[in-house]
A and B are shown apart, each in its own frame.
Chain A
Amino acid sequence: MSDFENDYRHAKPGQSGPGVTDYLDLDTKDETFLDANELVLNMGPQHPSTHGVLRVILKLDGEKVLGTECVIGYLHRGVEKIAENRTYAMFNPYVDRMDYVASVSNGLGYCEAVEKLQNVEAPPRAQYIRVILTELCRIASHQVWLGTHALDIGALTPLFYCFRDREEILKIFEKYCGARLTTHAFRIGGCIYEAYDGFEQDCLKFCTAFLPKLDEYEELLTTNRIWVRRTKGVGILNPEDCIALGVTGPVLRASGVKWDLRRAQPYECYKNFDFEIPTGLNGDTYDRYLVRIEEMRQSVRIIRQAVEGLPQGPIMAKIPKVLKPPVGEIYHSIEAPKGELGYFIVSDGSTQPYRVRVRPPSFVNLQALDKMVRGLLVADVVAVIGTLDIVLGEVDR
């Protein structure tokens, strides 16, 4: 017998011997194989389009997806447990490691939550610096999303454009706090670093240079026939499903719900700024793309206003060196690039938090994957994972 005939696919039921593998027993019907056409396909955890270590078990009928199951936790580091064994200030750098492409936002949410628990407020100048950096970070996060999402779908060029332009933001971060990725830019009570000489000019220069580049991204994709075909009508989520699934951020807004925490419950000094909340109509992958592109424009608007209005003054509120927030619990959330990032902190009056719970937007948004991909093709799963904009560091924490 040739190797080909020896292949298990040609083995008759009940036949055994060399070449017939044990694991595919054709006699007894495996319950996962309901139909001859149905099969289970394992995607990940080492799959490039999952943007990390996400494993998705797909149940397929030919090319059609019948259902999915996500297996997560490969990147679980137990940050919530770590928090209980660190002081409030010591835990601050850890939060940068959750959503590592938007570490500034993570830090902002944590610092604000502890400030709220301590009942202090960052001084106006610190708030403005925070807003500038957070909005820069939102643009950087969306650039990573756009580059990788386009790459997954087959458009190679946007990746290089996005990463080239993101470099300018990372340079500002580096000049501000010395770190590019896990920045630890803010401290509880304000900022520890004063804006460096030329910070404002750097930010404005970036804004001026970035808008034409954003148009460039759009030229590549928005009317690109392949891009439109691959994204329009793919992974539709209606507003009711979004709310039932707890989906937030651009995904929710693309479904037509005009809800942004920066506007709904303004934190920091966001109420001083004039900006729009872009929303979509259809809740498909294409709309989510448009919403995020528009969000980058709005972030530029906010940065410009914040730089213009950057007040003088202290950058750190008066808080004790050893932080012992009064006994109590607080939930505070911010609009991170991925959605609502919340911190629930319980204080027992000691130097260490009694419990820190992180409400990660990626984790909750990923749950919508199953609903979004049912009935689509395998290739669309890649597009939908990309459009959800998850970061596995935050999903698994």
Chain B
Amino acid sequence: MPDETKDPNPVLPEPKPPSVPQPGAEAAPSAPAIAKPTSAEKSEPGAPPLAPPAAKPEVAAKPAETAKPAAAAAPATGEKPATPPAAAKPAAPAAKAPPKPEGPKPEPWDSDLAHSLKSQYGSGIREASTYLGQKYLVVDSSILYEILLRMRDAELFNYCVDITAVHYPKRDDQFDILYILYSFHHNERVRIKTQIKDGETLRSVVGIWETANWLEREVFDMFGISFDGHPDLKRILLPDGWKGHPLRKDYPILQQDQEWVKINLGIESGQ
């Protein structure tokens, strides 16, 4: 597993010398192949110092983190509360009553970036947390564009990994829109999340990252969320004539199939 989960310090791009048991035996056979003139890189087959095996200390460090009894505390992102029904049954056997020891909960994200954003935007930054070592910000949709622009230019999060959405039909703000950003400079990932109502639109970020073009089209295709200022907002994976947006939770998985058999076979259900 990546160190993100355990290591509070960001991983350095160039890790420590490897701790292979017999590096000398390895370097010998592969070195001639590497040194060919066509290879783009030259290797340094100099035997790396024998570092102690790195696997052990991490395993030891893990239980301390996982031991927090926090199953009931759902991340404050408004997920479908799955725990309350179980917790509401006090008559359950005593063995079942204490929540499972696992279940890490989000912790406040303590960093210069989070503090400076909070001091600048105040309540616009609804949450700055880490969950299992992964950082995320929940921001107001009105300042989203500004924050993303700032993340790219000032904070050097210049690579937009992914844009996606999650649908929570029971919530007032039905959609979570996520921007997963990565910084080559800091070797760090951060998720920027915003929440919008059904029918609300967001400003397209194609002007910030070109890659957003297809990613936003896919979000539009699958969730029906529109992006203002997108150069070519149309369906991307589904045919143009498709009805509905399949990744919405209210889109039943058999709908398309049943409609087809009704029209073409004249029966109620093909199942």
Contacts and interface: CB of A to CB of B under 8 A. Distances in A.
A112 B210 CA distance: 29
Interface of B: 1-5, 11, 13-23, 25-27, 29-30, 33-34, 36, 38-41, 43, 48, 53-55, 59, 62, 66, 71, 74-75, 77, 79-80, 82-83, 102-104, 106, 131-132, 134, 136, 158-162, 164, 166-167, 178, 180, 184, 187, 189, 191, 209-211, 213-215, 222, 235-239, 246-247, 251, 253
Contacts of B235: 73
Contacts of B184: 243, 257, 259
Contacts of B40: 278-281, 287, 290-291, 294
B29 A304 contact: yes
B211 A72 contact: no
A115 B66 CA distance: 13
A267 B15 CA distance: 12
Contacts of B16: 271
A173 B103 CA distance: 36
A330 B30 contact: no
A269 B166 contact: no
A326 B79 contact: no
A200 interface: no
B30 A304 contact: yes
Given A259-B184, A297-B30, 18 more contacts: A85-B253, A243-B159, A266-B2, A271-B15, A271-B18, A271-B54, A276-B43, A290-B38, A290-B39, A304-B29, A309-B20, A309-B22, A329-B136, A342-B162, A344-B162, A354-B79, A363-B214, A364-B214
Contact of A218 (B30, B38, B214): B38
A264 B54 contact: no
B210 to A, nearest CB: 5
Q: Is the interface of B mostly helix, strand, loop or mixed?
A: loop
Contacts of A342: 161-162, 180
A246 B159 contact: yes
A272 B209 contact: no
Contact of A246 (B34, B80, B209): B209
A211 B29 CA distance: 10
A344 to B, nearest CB: 6
Contact of B236 (A72, A80, A308): A72
A124 B55 contact: yes
A150 interface: no
Nearest to A306: B20
Nearest to A85: B253
B18 A273 contact: yes
Interface stretch (A24-32, A161-169, A345-353): A345-353
21 contacts: A73-B239, A78-B246, A81-B246, A119-B104, A121-B1, A211-B33, A214-B33, A244-B158, A244-B209, A245-B210, A266-B15, A271-B16, A272-B54, A290-B40, A297-B34, A301-B26, A301-B30, A344-B178, A355-B247, A363-B214, A367-B214
A269 B13 CA distance: 16
B160 A355 contact: no
A293 interface: yes
Contacts of B180: 331, 342, 344, 359
Contacts of B74: 327, 349
Interface string A196-209: 00000000000000
Contacts of B178: 344
Contacts of A222: 38
Contacts of B214: 363-364, 367
Contacts of A327: 74-75, 79, 82-83, 103
Contacts of A35: none
A355 B20 CA distance: 38
B52 to A, nearest CB: 11
Contact of B238 (A76, A218, A257, A278): A76
B211 A246 contact: yes
Contacts of A278: 39-41
B161 A80 contact: no
Interface in A54-99: 72-73, 76, 78, 80-81, 85
